[in-house]
């Protein structure tokens, strides 16, 4: 662990930076020096070699011009000419020239300085460099490597011209450059050795220099770790009066002040912890950046979080207010903020009150949030508002209709024998509708207050269900077909016959109201373990999927206008739900828009009891 710590220490970093700076500086100097030296040596090599080739070219040019001016040469003249060319090439004193070839204007090699390559004399050359020099009349050069040895070669093609500046031949010379690069290699080796020695000395000096700086810093680091653990007795050693020494003195003064401040803070914290521990409301405290620094147990329970996991978490994230508020906006909020954590199944609402903690200068230190659970309060208030609105709305329509018709009768319509009976009939229907509404409300009120008793008895539900269907079948006027899918066997269930009759009346009445002309209503009973499932299906307009779960709520209607025209109060299914649940059953609906709706409800059924009755 100490080894790892050393490699992460500022001591090592300081030495590394010092060494790297020297290394980079030397590398930059070295690259510039080596590149410049290499260019200089190569240029000198080419210059000296070029001078030798120029002298050789001059001698060869004189010989070639003399030969060409002699008229038509015979074999003896040509032999003498080639011998002179060879003599000039062999007398070349330069050791760097690997080979020199003389090529005439037709591209034929007429001489070479290399004894073991005399076989090319008399042959035409295929060198591109020679052709380019002959065509352009200028010197052409290139650098390449020998295919056999890999040595670098400098190739130069120099044109030989007559007095009319016409190219009469080419001197094709090949010079060995490897001596130049061998010299550069030796120089590089010397430079690398010097760099290594310089870096070694630099590293030693860097270590010595770093110790004078990092030792007091290491002491201050140890002091900071001790402070973090609550140890305020340790002091930093002062090594001198320079900037680092003054920093050490300041650090010791800071330690003493922190000790005093910590004692004061600890006392206040104990007081605050004692108060928060006995509070029943949820309390959350933040720092000046809005991060949670304290949360009591009631607040953790209200938010269903762990106290350890929410510390340092932003308050707006904890309360789920990121999209509504920033922390600065919460600091200015003077009203209560409602936090709605309700789900589709369970309502859950909290009220949050905020109080800013700030100094006399106005500097904000943080925020205190107090949480109250107002779920039941809001639920009761919402139900009260909804109930008053629905009852008012349901009563207003028939009362408005009755007032209009009664005013018409009072204005003389009672004298009209054709209008008066219809007006009175409408008034009577609206009165009966209000009576049904009031009776339904009284029924629900009794069930809500549990002020009712179920008069249960064992009933053959198959026969009972058939009887209810028969009563409806005899009274319906519309062309609606009843289809029964009811087993022939008897199912004896323990129910309040009057209450279940009302359930069936409400469901079947709705099915008839919403069935189209010529529609079909289906009735079924199915046996399941420990219960029977009763279902009533129509072929009406159906119920949208997002409204299906709401049809058992009080005063809820999918098509309000049609339901009101058909005399519905919006309480039938709500009453059916209460009564079925009072029998320990369940009720639900399935529907497809345009195809119809099916209402299901269950009643407890025990096979053993059935066997006893049998």
Pairing state between β 152-161 and 167-176: antiparallel
Is residue 364 located within the same domain as residue 388?
no
Phi-psi bin for 596: left (phi > 0), alpha (psi -120 to 50), beta? left
What is the Cα–Cα distance from 464 to 174, expressed in whole angstroms? 124
Of the candidates 425, 284, 482, which has an alpha carbon nearest to the alpha carbon of residue 367?
284
**Structural domain boundaries, residue 432:** 379-448
Q: Let me know if residue 354 belongs to a domain.
A: yes
Is residue 495 located within the same domain as residue 510?
yes
Mean pLDDT of 27-31: 81
Domain end residue (candidates: 183, 218, 239): 183
Q: CB pairs under 8 A, 24+ apart, for 533-536?
A: 533/600, 533/601, 533/602, 534/461, 534/465, 534/600, 534/601, 534/602, 534/603, 535/598, 535/599, 535/600, 536/504, 536/507, 536/508, 536/511, 536/598, 536/599
CATH code: domain of residue 317: 3.30.450.20
Is residue 467 located within the same domain as residue 604?
yes
Of the candidates 292, 373, 582, which has an alpha carbon nearest to the alpha carbon of residue 601?
582
Is residue 117 located within the same domain as residue 169?
yes
What is the Cα–Cα distance from 228 to 251, expressed in whole angstroms? 14
Burial 15-40 (b: 16+ CB within 10 A, else e): beebbeebbeebeeebeeeeeeebee
Is residue 31 located within the same domain as residue 104?
yes
Is residue 562 located within the same domain as residue 602?
yes
Mean pLDDT of 486-492: 89
Q: Let me know if residue 205 belongs to a domain.
A: no
| pLDDT at residue 45 greater than cutoff 70 | yes
Q: Let me know if residue 584 belongs to a domain.
A: yes
Could you tell me which residues are beta bridge partners of residue 481?
A: 520
Task: Flag the least confident range among 176-190, 361-375, 551-565, 580-594.
Answer: 551-565
Is residue 420 located within the same domain as residue 498?
no
Predicted confidence (pLDDT) per residue in 456-485, tens digit: 889 999 999 999 888 888 877 667 889 999
Mean pLDDT of 214-223: 72
Residue 4 has a pLDDT of: 43
DSSP-assigned states of every residue in 41-94: HHHHHHHHHHHHHHHHHHHHHHHHHHHHHT-S--HHHHHHHHHHHHHHHHT---
Mean pLDDT of 351-357: 87
The DSSP call for residue 263 is: H
Predicted confidence (pLDDT) per residue in 411-455, tens digit: 777 777 777 777 777 777 777 767 766 666 666 666 665 556 777
Q: Let me know if residue 523 belongs to a domain.
A: yes
What is the Cα–Cα distance from 142 to 401, expressed in whole angstroms? 114
The DSSP call for residue 314 is: B
Predicted confidence (pLDDT) per residue in 261-304, tens digit: 777 777 777 776 777 767 778 888 888 888 998 888 888 888 88
Domain end residue (candidates: 151, 168, 183): 183
Query: What band does 603 get if pLDDT is binned at 50, 70 and 90?
Result: very high
Is residue 394 located within the same domain as residue 368?
no
Is residue 468 located within the same domain as residue 597?
yes
Residue 535 has a pLDDT of: 93
Under a CB-based contact definition with an 8 Å cutoff, are residues 367 and 355 in contact?
Answer: yes
Query: What band does 104 get if pLDDT is binned at 50, 70 and 90?
Result: confident
Q: Which residues contact 306 (CB under 8 A, 6 or more apart)?
A: 300
What is the Cα–Cα distance from 346 to 228, expressed in whole angstroms? 46
What is the Cα–Cα distance from 583 to 586, expressed in whole angstroms? 9
Could you tell me which residues are beta bridge partners of residue 521?
A: 482
CATH code: domain of residue 414: 1.10.287.130
Residue 525 has a pLDDT of: 93
Query: What band does 602 get if pLDDT is binned at 50, 70 and 90?
Result: very high
What is the Cα–Cα distance from 97 to 51, expressed in whole angstroms? 12
Is residue 430 located within the same domain as residue 335?
no
CATH code: domain of residue 585: 3.30.565.10
Is residue 396 located within the same domain as residue 469?
no
């919402």: which residue's tokens? Answer: 382
Q: How many domains is the chain partitioned into structurally?
A: 4
What is the Cα–Cα distance from 305 to 114, expressed in whole angstroms? 96
Better pLDDT: 332 or 418: 332
Q: Let me know if residue 490 belongs to a domain.
A: yes
Max CA pair span of the chain? 163
Q: Let me know if residue 430 belongs to a domain.
A: yes
Residue 571 burial by Cβ neighbours in a 10 Å radius (0-12, 13-18, 19+): buried
Q: Let me know if residue 236 belongs to a domain.
A: no
Residue 412 has a pLDDT of: 77
Of the candidates 468, 456, 485, 470, which has an alpha carbon nearest to the alpha carbon of residue 585?
456
Mean pLDDT of 554-583: 67
Q: Which residues contact 235 (CB under 8 A, 6 or more apart)?
A: 223, 252, 255
Q: Let me know if residue 134 belongs to a domain.
A: yes
Average pLDDT of the chain to the nearest whole number = 79
Q: Which residues contact 506 (CB under 8 A, 6 or more apart)?
A: 572, 573, 575, 576
Is residue 69 located within the same domain as residue 170?
yes
Domain end residue (candidates: 163, 183, 203): 183
């Amino acid at each position: 662990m100490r080894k790892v710590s050393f490699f992460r220490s500022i001591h090592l970093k300081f030495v590394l930076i010092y060494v790297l700076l020297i290394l980079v500086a030397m590398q930059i100097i070295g690259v510039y020096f080596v590149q410049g030296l290499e260019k200089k040596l190569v240029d000198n090599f080419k210059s000296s070699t070029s001078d030798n080739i120029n002298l050789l070219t001059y001698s060869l040019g004189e010989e070639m011009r003399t030969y060409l001016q002699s008229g038509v040469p015979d074999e003896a003249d040509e032999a003498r000419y080639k011998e002179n060319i060879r003599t000039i090439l062999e007398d070349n004193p330069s050791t760097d020239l690997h080979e020199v070839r003389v090529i005439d204007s037709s591209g034929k090699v007429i001489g070479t300085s290399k004894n073991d390559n005399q076989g090319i004399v008399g042959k035409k050359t295929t060198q591109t460099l020679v052709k380019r020099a002959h065509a352009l009349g200028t010197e052409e050069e290139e650098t390449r490597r020998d295919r056999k040895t890999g040595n670098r070669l400098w190739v130069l093609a120099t044109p030989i011209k007559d007095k009319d500046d016409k190219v009469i031949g080419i001197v094709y010379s090949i010079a060995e450059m490897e001596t130049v690069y061998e010299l550069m290699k030796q120089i590089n080796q010397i430079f690398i050795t010097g760099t290594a020695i310089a870096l070694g000395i630099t590293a030693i000096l860097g270590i010595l220099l770093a110790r004078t700086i990092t030792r007091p810093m290491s002491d201050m680091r140890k002091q900071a770790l001790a402070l973090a653990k609550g140890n305020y007795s340790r002091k930093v050693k002062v090594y001198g009066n320079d900037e680092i020494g003054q920093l050490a003195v300041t650090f010791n003064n800071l330690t003493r002040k922190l000790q005093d401040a910590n004692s004061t803070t600890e006392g206040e914290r104990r007081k605050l912890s004692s108060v928060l521990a006995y509070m029943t409301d949820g309390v959350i405290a933040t720092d000046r950046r809005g991060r949670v620094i304290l949360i009591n147990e009631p607040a953790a329970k209200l938010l269903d979080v762990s106290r350890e996991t929410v510390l340092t978490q932003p308050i707006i994230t904890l309360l789920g207010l990121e999209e509504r508020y920033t922390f600065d906006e919460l600091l200015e909020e003077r009203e209560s903020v409602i936090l709605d954590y309700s789900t589709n199944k369970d309502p859950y609402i909290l009220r949050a009150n905020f109080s800013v903690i700030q100094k006399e200068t106005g500097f904000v230190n943080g925020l205190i949030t107090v949480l109250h659970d107002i779920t039941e309060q809001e639920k009761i208030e919402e139900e009260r508002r909804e109930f008053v609105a629905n009852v008012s709305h349901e009563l207003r329509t028939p009362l408005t209709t009755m007032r209009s018709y009664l005013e018409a009768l009072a204005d003389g319509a009672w004298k009209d024998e054709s209008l008066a009976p219809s007006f009175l009939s409408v008034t009577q229907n609206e009165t009966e509708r209000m009576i049904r509404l009031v009776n339904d409300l009284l029924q629900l009120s009794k069930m809500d207050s549990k002020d009712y008793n179920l008069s249960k008895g064992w009933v053959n539900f198959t026969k009972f269900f058939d009887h209810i269907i028969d009563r409806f079948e005899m009274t319906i006027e519309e062309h609606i077909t009843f289809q029964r899918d009811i087993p022939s066997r008897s199912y004896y269930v323990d129910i309040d016959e009057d209450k279940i009759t009302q359930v069936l009346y409400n469901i079947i009445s709705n099915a008839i109201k919403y069935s189209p002309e010529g529609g079909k209503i289906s009735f079924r009973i199915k046996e399941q373990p420990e219960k029977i499932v009763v279902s009533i299906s129509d072929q009406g307009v159906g119920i949208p999927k997002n409204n299906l779960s709401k049809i058992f709520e009080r005063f809820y209607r999918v098509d309000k206008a049609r339901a009101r025209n058909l005399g519905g109060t919006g309480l039938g299914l709500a009453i059916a739900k209460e009564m079925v649940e009072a029998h320990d059953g369940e009720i639900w609906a399935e529907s497809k828009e345009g195809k119809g709706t099916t209402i299901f409800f269950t009643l407890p059924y025990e096979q053993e009891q059935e066997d006893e009755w049998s």
